[in-house]
Amino acid sequence: MIDASARIDPRARLAEGVDVGPGCLIGADVEIDGDTRIAPYVIIHGSTRIGRRNQIHPFCVIGGDPQDKKYQGEGSTRLEIGDDNTIREHCTINRGTVQGGGVTRIGDHNWVMANVHIAHDCQVGSHTVFANNTALAGHVAIEDHVILGGFTGVHQFCRVGAYSFAAIASVIVKDVPPYLMVAGNTAETRGLNREGLKRHGFSAETLQLLRQAYKILYRQHLPLSEAVEQLKALNGGSAEVRRLVDFVSRSTRGIVR
């Protein structure tokens, strides 16, 4: 169903089964796959592709220009949103910049609550939760199964590792390794995200191994390079520890520590 009051550019491509509510504006370079619901008074513009079965709630602005002074109106930048995402009221999601790779990307099955901002060139995985008023600066990378508490801010170019959790009003200015819980302004570690890991089915053996890894990284006061070497020795074929080692080794901003 497409409401008669919606203004949709004839060049936009809407698949069968897309619902568009009253007062929506949808631009020429927008593509929306089937069974996605666009609630009233949503603006979607720029080069934007939205997948299947998404729910976009009122007063969102999707695909807007990057809030970056380097942006000079380049038409080649875009926004890509996957399938089965819920985007609640008043969210803003910007397209990428040429300097940042050209694309802002959001995966599948994400729960984006009201008033969230996702800036240019962000790379968001799948199965994440961004609580109300979370804000991601440009070039932020969020891996799968991350939860960010309300009013959390993430500094530009930071990475947040898989299965990590940030408490309400955290301010993240360095990379957050996978599996951790952080809190505060500025964010500091509060241990493993144990409850979250249990809910995702991590075995007792894996949790024990990650506890050992956490002690090496945070409790033994080792230089980071030495801690990484000890983590490699601990690995024992564990994909989870390997992910932790890879994440820390690739950090350019430094990790929350």
**Which pLDDT score is estimated for 72?**
92
Q: Are 62 and 27 in contact (CB under 8 A)?
A: no
The CATH class given to the 7-142 domain equals mainly beta
- 51 tagged catalytic: no
The domain limits of the chain are 7-142, 197-249
**Which pLDDT score is estimated for 75?**
87
- 138 tagged catalytic: yes
pTM, rounded to two decimals:
0.97
Options 82, 138, 149, 150, the catalytic residue: 138
**pLDDT mean values, one per 10 residues, the chain (257 residues):** 97 98 98 98 98 98 96 94 99 97 98 98 98 98 98 98 98 98 98 97 96 96 95 85 96 96
Q: List, in sequence order, the alpha helices (H) in 24-148.
A: none
Q: Are 145 and 127 in contact (CB under 8 A)?
A: yes
What are the φ and ψ backbone dihedral angles of 219, each rounded to 5 degrees? -105, -20
**Which pLDDT score is estimated for 82?**
98
Options 57, 120, 127, 145, the catalytic residue: 120
Tokens of 87: 């985007």
Q: How far apart are CA 243 and CA 20, in angstroms?
A: 41
Fold of the CATH domain 197-249: Udp N-acetylglucosamine O-acyltransferase; Domain 2 (1.20.1180)
